[in-house]
Structure 1
Amino acid sequence: MSNDTFKYVLRLADNALILSQRLTQWCGKGPALEEDMALTNVALDLIGQARLWYSYAAEIEGAGRTEDDLAYLRDAHQFHNLLLVEQPNGNYADTLMRQFLFDTWHYYLLKSLCASKDGRIAEIAEKSLKEVSYHLRRSGDLVVRLGDGTAVSQEKMQTALDEVWRFTGEMFIADDLDTAIAAQGLGPDPSSLKVDWEAHLAEVMAEATLRLPAANAWMLKGGKQGVHTEHMGYILAEMQFLQRAYPGAQW
């Protein structure tokens, strides 16, 4: 099994884990009990997906590391998640818009990965797609309800969209690893996902009466190469504290 496959699967795991960690910060603080529970369930789904990806990455690496080692014993520069998923929760509009933009990309990525020549990647993608289909439907419905709601809710959703938009371009930029993975038939060229992503966004935003930012707006990138925003270190400090302070600790 190639080192490229290990690195690629690790990226998939990192996206799910870091976004899950962000969402768990809302537990007990949601705007309504039902929404609090729903968002926590999305976080749990993502943790489950991260575990599947990390377990497979550990198998490919063959160095004796476990899923816990990969999650808790790496530093920020060794994580390769998208910058989008590490952004602060902000208010609920910020969290929801971040989620919808990621869910849409995640859905089309997993659909493509179901056809991967790597059987395990295809298997995990197919299992995850069932959960992410719900995530996308849920976040899209809420974007519409709040965007086409009151003047205040619409303003907050538009502001959230404008603020987080600069982190979306990275999802569709191929680096050397993406190119190698696509050439081997293990995953898609990231740019191939953009048409469906944009089409779904246009449909939902029109119904939500929200204005999409310019497609050619300036974009930030670097997360896939381990170059993160200042927020990443704080996420890991909280998430990894127990394992770092008490190595090998178990419940």
Structure 2
Amino acid sequence: MSTTSEAAVVSPDSLPHGLPSGTAALARLMVRLGDDALVLGQRLCQWITRAPTIDEDLALSNIALDLIGHARVLYTRAGQLDGSGRCEDDFAYTRSAREFTNTLLAELPNGDFAVTVARQLVYTHYAVLYYESLARCADPGLAAFGARAAKEVAFHRMHADRWTVTLGRGTGESARRMQQGLDRVWPYAAELFEEDEVLARLAVRDVVLSPAVLRETWLGGVSGVVTEAGLAVPAPAWSASGGRSGLHSEEFGPLIAELQSVRREFPGGTW
């Protein structure tokens, strides 16, 4: 998973090892966040050579590279915390699809460009808020990562905001597709803010903030962009859930198989 992403500047080796109780829960949180970043990055990589313009081909691949850089840092530190000694490649390439704990939003198929923009809008507004909260968390290592990652994802958010408004205020066809993209993606947002026993344990110990408290701020941010685009904020009748427990969509298996194909074909191979 080697990458030149600036996220890798936050070296896992520099993160402190002396952690209070709740280390196992913190390690699980890092894996979850790493899974979100890796899986979404892999989805965005599928746009390479297929994006609407060359500029967007480069933009989406650079965003994907940032996300994979985030996953590298999070996986490596998780392997240190859980005592397994697993490295970033172990997490990415040796787990089954059932062992991944990313949200269903991250694995949602790209659809057309408007669906991808809508997915980016939902995710980036959440990620900036959550990473900013991590920058103030009790663990210095995670705080350092959060501060760095929040700055990078803020650029991803600007990209999503700009395209949402551009498509919404473009032609009748682009506005229709953007609205359909928002309607398609919106039910998957709720899972980002779910609180389970892992997050509750960390929140009680003041290690990290529960994402649930960020939902209203997130909604205000994305709603403002959607309104500026002249579109309607969706009101879904259902909410997706299960990804954090390893319950994934039919499309997830092929995505992971593609990600892991070379490693599984040549186990232990070096280049």
What TM bracket, shorter-length normalisation? over 0.9
Map Cα deviations across residues 169-215 of structure 1 (whole Å, 9 max, x no partner). Answer: 1111211111111112222212111011111011101110110112x
| One-letter amino acid of the structure 1 residue matched with residue 175 of structure 2 | Q
Are 2:109 and 1:85 aligned? no
Q: Which residue of 2 aligns with 1:232?
A: 252
The equivalences for 1:58-137 within 5 A come to 58-137=79-158
The equivalences for 1:185-200 within 5 A come to 185-200=206-221
For 1:141 and 1:186, the matched residues in 2 are separated by 34
Q: Which residue of 2 aligns with 1:20?
A: 41
Are 2:193 and 1:172 aligned? yes
- Which shows bigger deviation, 40-49 or 179-188? 179-188
For 2:128 and 2:27, the matched residues in 1 are separated by 21
For 1:119 and 1:141, the matched residues in 2 are separated by 33
Map Cα deviations across residues 75-117 of structure 1 (whole Å, 9 max, x no partner). Answer: 1111111100101111111111111110011110101111110
Unaligned segments of structure 2, at least 5 residues: 1-18
| One-letter amino acid of the structure 2 residue matched with residue 239 of structure 1 | L
Are 2:206 and 1:182 aligned? no
Q: Which residue of 2 aligns with 1:3?
A: 24
For 1:222 and 1:187, the matched residues in 2 are separated by 22
Provide TM-score, normalisation by structure 2.
Answer: 0.90
Percentage of matched positions with identical amino acids: 39
For 2:91 and 2:205, the matched residues in 1 are separated by 25
Q: Which residue of 2 aligns with 1:143?
A: 164
Q: What is the root-mean-square deviation of aligned Cα atoms in Å?
A: 1.0
Q: Which residue of 2 aligns with 1:37?
A: 58
Runs of 4+ in structure 1 deviating by more than 4 angstroms, as ranges, are none
Unaligned segments of structure 1, at least 5 residues: none
Q: Which residue of 1 aligns with 2:270?
A: 250
Provide TM-score, normalisation by structure 1.
Answer: 0.97
For 1:231 and 1:46, the matched residues in 2 are separated by 20
For 2:221 and 2:130, the matched residues in 1 are separated by 14
Q: Which residue of 2 aligns with 1:223?
A: 243
Map Cα deviations across residues 52-80 of structure 1 (whole Å, 9 max, x no partner). Answer: 11111111122232110011000111111
3-state SS, counterpart of residue 240 of structure 1 = helix
